[in-house]
Chains A and B, each alone.
Chain A
Amino acid sequence: MRPKSFEQVLEEVKGKPILVANRGIPARRICRSITEMFQATAVMTATDVDKTSPATTGAHELLLLGEDPRAYLELDRIIKMAKDRGIVAIHPGWGFGSEDDSFPKKCEEAGIIFIGPNQGPMRLLGNKVAVRKLAEEIGVPVVPGSPEAVSIPEARKIAKEIGFPIMLKAEGGGGGRGIYEVYEDSQLESAFSKASALAKASFGNPRLYVEKLLTSVRHIEFQTVADMYGNVFVFDERDCTVQRNHQKLVEITPSPWPKFTPELRKELKGYAEKLIKAVGYHSLATVEFLVDKDGRPYLIEVNTRLQVEHGITECRYGIDLVEEQIAISFGAKLRFNEQNTKPYLHVMQVRVNCEDPQDNFSPNAGLITSYVSPGGQGVRIDSCICAGYRFPSRYDSAAALLITYGNSWDKTVMLMRRALREYKIGGVKTTINFHREVMKHPDFVNGDYDTNFVRVHKDELMAYSDKEAEPVRLARLVAEISARGYNPYVSLGEYRGRGDKRMGRFQLVKAPDATDAAFEPRISRGMKRDAILDALREDRAAGIIHFCDTTTRDITQSNSGNRFRLAEDRIIGPSLDKCGFFSLENGGGAHFHVAMLANMTYPFTEAKEWNLFAPNTLKQILIRSTNVLGYKPQPGNLMRLTGEMICEHYDVIRCFDFLNHVENMRPFAEVVLHSKKHIFEPALSLSWAKGFDVPHYLEVTEGILSMCADVLGVSRKKASQAIILGLKDMAGVCPPRFMRELIGALTAKYPELVIHSHRHYTDGLFVPTMGAAAKAGSHIVDVAIGSSVRWYGQGEVLSTAAYIEDEMGLKTLLDKDMIRSTNFTLKQIMPYYDKYCSPYFQGIDHDVVRHGMPGGATSSSQEGAMKQGYIHLLPYMLKFLAGTRKVVRYHDVTPGSQITWNTAFLGVTGAYKRGGNIEVRRLLNILDIVNVVPEKDLTALEKEARLDLYRDSNDAFRNLLLGKYGRLPLGFPADWVYQSAFGKDWEKAIADRTTESPLASLVDLDLDAEHRVLSQRIGREPSAEEFVMYLNHPADAIKTMDFFEKYGNPNNLPLDVWFEGLEKNRPLHFQGDCGKPHTMRILDLGEPDEHGMSVVRYVMDSEIMSHMVKVREPLHMDKDAEEMADPGNPCHVGSPSNGDLWIVHVRPGDVVKKGEELFNISIMKQEKAVIAPVDGVVRRVLKAANFQEDRKMVPVKEGELLVELGPSPRTCPTCKGFIPLEDCKYCPKCGQKLDALTPKG
């Protein structure tokens, strides 16, 4: 045949159909060449899964292969179809039929040109043993080893010659499959049989050969192209050293390895050319070498097809290999020679696969939800995916080949980094993140690595987070809230439905600027403790009263369940900062917990941000003495750890103990008092009840000052100058006259002690009481901004100030216009909280002076009673509370108030269960009696009756009586209380009582162990804050960490969206944490399908996305889900595995003996008989089957309860028959008289 020119081939091929017998990336790639210069008709094979894939867009026509996904391997069928279609040539691509040497032959027989080599040379070069032999003959170095497949003794002999380690390679293997590494003689035997059997199973050929295992090598290969006339051109090397299990991940040309010299390149190119010429090969081929660290090359194999990494050679030379390959197959003369084909660029390719590198590169298929491909200068991409494409699971995981090219290695690396940054594939995990890490690795950049690179640097390369960008994740949260209509994270149940009326859009109108440039705050952050306290004393002497604002903590804790978010803090914080408050209480109490439980916010991050947007005013926190920020006493080391973190973000630390057990505050005093900046504010828990009088509180104050003096190492007088004394009337019960008296006595005794009054509004007397407190000598009083004032929190700032100024004749330093301005802003926020977070029962409750339920608990406890169906008992519970407060006396503050409430609830409901309303009234009657009648006047009957009062109390109450929370402020209650609560163990309980601080007996936490548990749970090192969050509230801390991982920072979403989601078509503008603005608009909120899933389609910035949200339980769900057998109960007989129940031999009432077959399960034709584990009577048969009769099998799950047995029945002493019923007096079978049943112990 005479050589044709390229132009002649163009002429010949134009308009003719050429088939690509492949799919995905190679098919698309080859179709491109077919249609470019040749202007031929590109035909592509496609199975049903593939016929609409993005790769098919490049083809003019498809050759449909039907539903079998493996049809690409059916060469005969494909050739027949091709012939019918009039195909002139077939390109096999890579993979599938491309290495089958019968393909060229079959094509030839069908009269179709095969775009590739002829069968003979293909078979020779494709056979590793043959090629090795050939190489040895013509002087190409090969890896030492056996020339052909060997037996074990031969293998051992060769191993001895070449030395371990060796590799056993399957003759029929390839692509990294079928290779076993053997490191020592002793492993050889078992490795050989294993490898051989597996080779047979996998490749149909058990034969193995032996090769030396080279431990540190680079993979260097050479692209060759040859025509039918003996012209061969060898291109520069491709360095494919970055591999995983022999699968190439990154390919580079030229090699960046400093040791790869031009001499070595020349030598290897020579070998490649020799091999190709030796077999008279035409078309493309790749000659692959391993090069050890000393630059010694070893030929490993020759690939007789187009390869995945061909693109980098094309870019280095500016050529089209596929075009050349096609032309050569049609008889064209090779166009490349050393003069016209010169390398000039550095090129790299990474394989973007749908695999999860962090899960051992496991493939993952699924819907590509978004796709943004990189572009620009120096980038080439060959992909087979697009947004909306469902990536199939049946084929290989290659999604794209990303190439970058530049005029230096460094430029190419930087380009690749940039391209990988731009590349976004959503919905499936890909290798993009992994490649980003590779591109950053210094060894990679320096070209200093071998084929073990990925394995050796696994930890570094896998240390990336596969998170999507925060706005994408937040948009998904918005979709979820919108589909449900409520936000489950708010933890208030299904508080609204999707179709419910909305509060409407939260569109903040800014308040008129009220900033007074001349306003100078009297007290600000940055001042030292002593300066602040001196200023307060000085001001009080001048009749000036200061205010602490609780808007963002205590008042919204009491009235809005603490759901007030950081997002809204950010809005009003800056103006609160300018109102002239002494301090802003913005943390502590339940707020710390609810931040994680419902607001999905890191509490200390919140505090830190506060100090940025409200930098001037002091920040105040509330601490529950031993419990700190939790609900139970904390070990010392945890207290200190939390305390240190608190001091980082807060200036005033108010600390109370519900028993006024001063020692419980000591650890915190130690943390705070040693700082010159922080102010310690120990607080008296106040009750208004018998025994809690002024002398009592003076005594407690004395104790506080002594403790502080002790910690500071100063006198009590000095101590009184160094702290603020808090007065904490949490229930809101102390009337003006009592406060006047108490504060009067305190200031008389400790004239330099700064006093800070705190109370709640519950009794309705907030303003006059605070007025009285101020007048009597308080330096600071707690208030809140008007639009947040309800019933259970603090009172309003301007009215309180007005009362103090106008009625009491004192002064304030507030910037009232700024307060008005703040109020205007807050006014727009509060309605959302009122609607979704308000307490159920609302309004002033002056009865609080009797029952003493504090703050928000007033409503929540009563709501609890109602929800449990006891609303009719509520008046009695409140009476019980009032009475019990006189029996066991402590303060109406958390957690004491909760204990009293539970005791009342349990006492009253217990009585109701025993004897209805009559019993309840009897119980309250006796409570009245014990509270009014002196002990000596009680009758024996009354003394007996009072023991019913606390018989239903819980452990918390009993622990309180034992002194486990601390010393009771007025001593232990009377002994009969112990008799009632502890029953017959009451004397022991009395003996076990303690007055020691619980701190004394608490063992330190093993912080290292806790740290390990947390790290393991979240899969990374926790931050210091996360660790403290976890130690205080483990479950909710993890919930918040998981939330951040899944969605990001919820405080970037507006208030209405947080509660109600987004309605269709309304644009949402929000900013991510990095401040970039984003827009989201919901296009469609689908109705839930039968699985309860609703599809939300939305536009995020300019991308259309969709998200499935489970909004309700599936319709066809088995309502009575399977009951599971209790593994610890021998009478529960469950299914041993998943399978089909086909026969049950027993019926309820049957008596079975141990070992008797009960039923039989069939699984993969193995029939498992399940036998009775004990003697007994069949109580229940949960599923029955009798296949032989009705041809029905019943599917069962592993562990599912199938038969329940009862205890073995009595037997008749005479006939040994079973007695079926317990009350039989005579044996029903033989008539024998039976003994009465012995009573059960």
Chain B
Amino acid sequence: MSRPFILLADGLPDLAQPLDLSALSALHPLWAADAAALAPFAGADTLGQAAAAALVVCGECASTMDVARHLAGQGALGPWGSVIAPVQNAGRGQLRRAWLSRPGNLLATLACPLESGPWNDLRPLVLGYLFAEALSALGQAVQVKWPNDILCAERKVAGILVEERANCVLAGIGLNIAWAPGEAELRAGHTVAAGKYHPLNEALGPFQLWAALVNHVETGYRTLLEAFSPNEFLTIFQTRMAWQGRRVLVQEGASVRYEAVVRGISGEGGLVLDRAGQRVVLLAGDVIPI
């Protein structure tokens, strides 16, 4: 395990509860596997000593986004550093929607490097693509629903939310590996049913899976930005993109709804739709398959 990791055993005031490995093991069998793997290294590093790219494990928190934002503000978390927690009591999705989860699922936040120009604008797609590539390499093949929901067999198994704020970009990810909300628990108007992702090695707990994912994503990210132009990336992105050519219901804001066919990705990363013969580019909004 090359990436340094830190256990926030004492928690953080108002942000994260204290954490100990035995309690972690009791949460879910998947965490038990992780706790066993972590035990020999517990207490190896503490905050501030480790590199900013460390993997931080904290106790129950409102959201790993908040913990990561706090740590980043302190200078303790830099690009490719991340925070993972077993339980979030106020996990959030896009537009402050709730992110439902139960112990055993992967709940983490990754600090992203800052970019300028098109790579900055394309970040949601880049992360979606890279996580999809990483997940496909580690388990079931998945697809990306524009801009970055992860679908496996037509069900949403993970969501990514990117928050940019004052020189700090954080990507929160929730991945269903132990549990997925049922139809009744999803918000009204949700776009796709939830499902679970199965890694090849079913024994991997959230922590070990996360460590592998971060490694994959970081490597993929470096190669991608070095070797490809943003335009080339958009071509590549479409190889992982779900619902191409599919007729969908487009929702922009609360009131605007129309049917269209998904055609691809525009030069700026927007979703290209064919609305009754007219080319429409969607930059924000949601699509629901019909």
Mark contacts of B211-230 with chain A using CB atoms, 8 A cut-off: 1 yes-contact digit, 0 otherwise.
00000000000010011100
Q: B164 — which chain A residues lie within 8 A by C-beta?
A: 1166-1169
In the complex the two chains form, what is the Cα distance from A1171 to B163 in whole Å?
13
A109 at the interface (CB under 8 A from B): no
Is A68's CB under 8 angstroms from B245's CB? Answer: yes
Which positions 1150-1165 of chain A face chain B at CB distance < 8 Å? Answer: 1155, 1157, 1162-1165
Closest residue of A by beta carbon distance from B159: A1165
Tell me if A1238 is interfacial: C-beta within 8 Å of chain B: no
Contact assessment for B162 and A1140 in the assembled complex, using a CB-CB cutoff below 8 Å: no
Per-position 1/0 for B70-101, Cβ under 8 A of A: 00000000000000000000000011100000
Q: For the complex, is B160 an interface residue (Cβ under 8 Å from A)?
A: yes
Beyond A201-B235, A201-B236, whether A1193 also contacts B254 by CB under 8 A is yes
Contacts of B125 in A (CB 8 A): 1164
In the complex, the answer to whether B236 meets A1166 with C-beta atoms within 8 Å is no
Docked Cα-Cα span, A1167 to B171, in Å, equals: 10
Complex contacts, B261 vs chain A, CB 8 Å: 67-68
Interface check A198, CB cutoff 8 A? yes
The interface residues of chain B lying within 8 Å CB-to-CB of A200 are 239
Looking at A1167, A1168, A1188, A1194, the one whose CB has the most chain B CB atoms below 10 A away is A1167
Check B284–A1162 contact: CB distance below 8 A.
yes
Q: A201-B235, A1192-B255, A1193-B254 are in contact. Are A1164 and B161 (CB under 8 A)?
A: no
Measured CB to CB, the nearest residue on chain A to B240 is A201
Considering the complex, give the chain B residue whose CB is closest to the CB of A192.
Answer: B227
A1165→B161 contact, CB < 8 A: yes
CA A1186 – CA B248 in complex, angstroms?
Answer: 26
Please determine whether A1166 and B124 come into contact, CB atoms closer than 8 angstroms: yes
Residues of A within 8 A of B96 (CB): 1143, 1187-1188
> Nearest A residue to B93 by beta-carbon distance?
A1165
Q: Are B236 and A1164 in contact (CB under 8 A)?
A: no
Give the chain A neighbours of B59 by CB distance below 8 A: none
Distance of A202 Cα from B234 Cα, bound (Å) = 11
Decide if B270 is an interface residue (CB 8 Å cutoff).
yes
Mask of A891-904 contacts with B, CB within 8 angstroms, 1/0: 00000000000000
Distance of A1155 Cα from B73 Cα, bound (Å)? 12
Instruction: Identify B121's interface contact among A67, A1137, A1167, CB under 8 A.
Output: A1137
Q: Is A80 an interface residue (CB 8 A)?
A: no
Q: Which residues of B contact A194 (CB under 8 A)?
A: 227-228
Q: Which of A1033-1067 contact B (CB under 8 A)?
A: none
Q: Does B103 contact A (CB under 8 A)?
A: no
Distance from A245 Cβ to chain B, minimum over Cβ atoms (Å): 16
* Cβ proximity bits A760-780 to B, threshold 8 Å, 1 near / 0 not: 000000000000000000000
User: From residue B141, how far is it (CB to closest CB) to chain A in Å?
Assistant: 13
The answer to whether B163 touches A1169 (Cβ under 8 A) is yes
Contact A1140 B236 (CB under 8 A): no
Main secondary structure of the interface of A (DSSP, over half): mixed
Per-residue interface assignment for chain B, residues 21 to 61, with 1 indicating a CB less than 8 Å from any chain A CB and 0 otherwise: 00000000000000000000000000000000000000000
Give the complex CA separation of A1194 and B253 in angstroms: 7
Q: How far is the CB of A1069 from chain B (nearest CB, A)?
A: 41
Is A197 an interface position by the 8 A CB rule?
yes
Are B165 and A1171 neighbours in the complex by a CB distance under 8 Å?
A: yes
**Shortest Cβ distance from B215 into chain A, in angstroms?**
18
Determine which of B163, B227, B228, B270 lies in contact with A1164 in the assembled complex, contact meaning CB atoms within 8 Å. B270
CB proximity to B under 8 Å, residues A196-232: 197-198, 200-202, 204
Q: What's the nearest-Cβ distance from chain A to residue B253, in Å?
A: 4
Given the complex, which residues of B lie within 8 Å of A582, measured CB to CB? none
Tell yes or no: B123 within 8 A of A by CB.
yes
Tell me if B95 and A198 are in contact (CB < 8 A).
Answer: no
Cβ B235 vs Cβ A1165 within 8 A: no
**Is there contact, CB below 8 Å, between A1192 and B254?**
yes
Q: How far apart are the CA atoms of A989 and B255 in the complex, in Å?
A: 67
State the A residues within 8 Å of B (CB): 67-68, 70, 190, 193-194, 197-198, 200-202, 204, 1137-1140, 1142-1143, 1155, 1157, 1162-1169, 1171, 1187-1188, 1190-1195
Q: List B residues at the A interface (Cβ < 8 Å).
A: 94-96, 121, 123-125, 146-148, 160-166, 223, 226-228, 232, 235-236, 239, 245, 252-255, 261, 269-270, 283-285
Closest 8 CB pairs of A and B: A1191-B254, A201-B236, A1169-B165, A1140-B284, A1164-B147, A1166-B162, A1193-B253, A194-B227
Taking A70-B245, A1164-B125, A1164-B270 as known contacts, 20 extra A-B pairs with beta carbons closer than 8 A to each other, sorted by chain A number, are A193-B223, A193-B227, A197-B223, A197-B228, A198-B236, A1142-B95, A1155-B166, A1162-B284, A1164-B121, A1164-B147, A1165-B124, A1165-B162, A1166-B164, A1167-B94, A1191-B254, A1192-B254, A1192-B255, A1193-B285, A1195-B252, A1195-B284
